[in-house]
């Protein structure tokens, strides 16, 4: 394995060596299921889906855990505003996230644990921290003592004396820098019993407990959005290592999706939801838009950039469809060496996709020259490379679509087929003016027609 990744903890490019040869363990911070998912939410899932596919392509057995935060201040507040039970609100939006991930072609996680299902493990971890002198209970709340852990701040670069946890001072906090592990029960809120009284978990504790449960005291990669670096990931690392666990050996953080220069967030009201996007572009086109930029680069959302991604994906799709129509089914072969080198260099997806498009250009040139063997070789390579991205247009996942998309595809195929038959009749009758008019009508609708010895072929226009 020659993969190198940018490790957020060391701030360097490090050669990746899994803890257990041939096996890779990944913990990915998943959704806080407070509302409908937007494109900023799912970017992390897509980025780590590509990483997972690349590791599996190299022969690794990958275990990826993506948690669900189903108890949180925001969930409780939004459920109360809507007049709905908190658990129903969380379950409804958890399903919406699962549907979004599935629609965009993300492989299901090895496990998707919920915070509320792991309170026992959280209590055990708090007890370990209290016994080691790194946590304390006051009035039913439990806090982590930042001053007790000298390595605090190493992950994010935060200076302990300047730490702002973004939470209230707390009734029993001994130091404003300390963060909450457990919140004592409040009237009208859900709670669970503990040795220190009833209450509910703090956000940071959830992930440490679930990572330990499913991946053990030490695992390979911890991933998530860059906005989680502090305080969430800093606090995860501190409490886990203070409890005696090695925790994550590498840290990877993806950048934001922004709109007008600001991170997408529900509180700012500048989100673009997945259901809304899927009414405008196909799922594979949205996946291309979000998965191809480098995971550490900001995506500034714009309609123009989205449409360019749509056209780029369709260029790949049209090439493969033309090869299949002319020569028959094409099986994937192996990625080009340049593609491998790009992804091994900190998952350089833009460089890897550039290799894909170069192969498409070579393949189209072979088609134009009548070199069907060369075209098939290029198509086989393109299938292998787009498969790593989860974007192979000939994959059953994308080829026919599903639901309304499948129906639209079938209707379009029937309508275009009827017009092509009419055009063929006009050509047979030597009514070339009518044949050209029909071809122009199709072209104006975004459908290109190519006459071949085997009959006319149609594809969406390569614009």
pLDDT of residue 409: 55
The H or E element that residue 349 is part of is: helix 349-368
Distances (CA, A) of 109 to 26, 48, 79, 229: 10, 10, 27, 22
145: Cα within 13 Å, side-chain hemisphere: 16
252: its two tokens: 């990877």
DSSP annotation of 160? G
Domains, the chain, with CATH or none: 17-276 (3.40.50.620), 302-398 (1.20.120.640), 400-463 (no CATH)
User: 111 forms bridges with which residues in the sheet?
Assistant: 65
C-alpha angle 55-61-64 in degrees, rounded to nearest 5: 80
pLDDT of residue 414: 66
Helices and strands (H and E) in the chain: how many: 15, 15
pLDDT of residue 226: 97
Read off the pLDDT of residues 10-39 as tens digits, 9 standing for 90 and up. Answer: 999 999 999 999 999 999 999 999 999 999
Rounded to two decimals, the pTM is 0.87
Low-confidence ranges of the chain (pLDDT < 70): 1, 169-170, 260, 262, 264-271, 399-411, 413-414, 452-455, 457, 459-463
CA–CA gap between residue 269 and residue 289 (Å, rounded): 22
Cβ neighbours for 314, distance < 8 A, ≥ 6 positions apart: 285, 460, 462
pLDDT of residue 457: 66
């Amino acid at each position: 394995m020659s993969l190198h990744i940018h490790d957020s903890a060391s701030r360097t490019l490090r050669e990746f060596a899994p803890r257990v040869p041939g096996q890779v363990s990944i913990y990915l911070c998943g959704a806080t299921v407070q509302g409908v998912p937007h494109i900023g939410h799912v970017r992390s899932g897509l980025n780590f889906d590509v990483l997972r596919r690349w590791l599996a392509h190299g022969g690794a057995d990958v275990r990826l855990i993506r948690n669900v935060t189903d108890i949180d201040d925001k969930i409780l507040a939004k459920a109360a505003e809507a007049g709905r039970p908190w658990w129903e609100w969380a379950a409804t939006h958890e399903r919406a996230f699962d549907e979004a991930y599935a629609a965009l072609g993300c492989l299901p996680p090895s496990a998707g644990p919920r915070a509320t299902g792991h309170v026992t493990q959280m209590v055990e971890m708090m007890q370990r921290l209290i016994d080691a002198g790194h946590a304390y209970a006051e009035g039913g709340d439990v806090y982590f003592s930042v001053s007790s852990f000298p390595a605090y701040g190493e992950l994010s670069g935060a200076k302990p004396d300047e730490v702002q946890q973004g939470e209230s001072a707390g009734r029993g906090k001994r130091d404003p820098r300390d963060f909450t592990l457990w919140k004592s029960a409040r009237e009208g809120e859900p709670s669970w019993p503990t040795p220190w009284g009833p209450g509910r978990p703090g956000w940071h504790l959830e992930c440490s407990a679930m990572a330990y449960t499913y991946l053990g005291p030490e695992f390979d990669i911890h991933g998530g959005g860059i906005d989680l670096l502090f305080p969430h990931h800093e606090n995860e690392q501190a409490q886990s290592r203070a409890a005696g666990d090695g925790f994550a050996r590498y840290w990877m953080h993806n950048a934001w999706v922004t709109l007008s220069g600001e991170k997408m967030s529900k509180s700012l009201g500048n989100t673009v939801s997945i259901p809304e996007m899927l009414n405008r572009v196909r799922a594979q086109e949205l996946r291309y838009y979000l998965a191809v930029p480098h995971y550490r680069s900001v995506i500034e959302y714009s309609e123009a950039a989205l449409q360019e991604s749509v056209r780029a994906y369709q260029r790949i799709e049209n090439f493969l469809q033309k090869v299949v129509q002319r020569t028959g089914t094409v099986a994937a072969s192996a990625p080009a060496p340049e593609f491998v080198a790009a992804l091994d260099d900190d998952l350089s997806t833009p460089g890897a996709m550039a290799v894909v498009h170069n192969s498409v250009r070579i393949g189209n040139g072979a088609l134009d020259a009548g070199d069907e063997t060369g075209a098939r070789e290029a198509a086989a390579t393109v299938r292998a490379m787009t498969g790593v991205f989860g974007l192979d247009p000939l994959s059953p996942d994308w080829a026919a679509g599903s639901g309304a998309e499948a129906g639209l595809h079938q209707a379009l195929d029937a309508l275009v087929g009827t017009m092509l038959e009419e055009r063929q009749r006009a050509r047979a009758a030597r009514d070339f003016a009518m044949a050209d008019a029909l071809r122009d009508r199709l072209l104006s609708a975004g459908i290109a027609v190519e006459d071949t010895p085997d009959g006319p072929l149609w594809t969406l226009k390569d614009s």
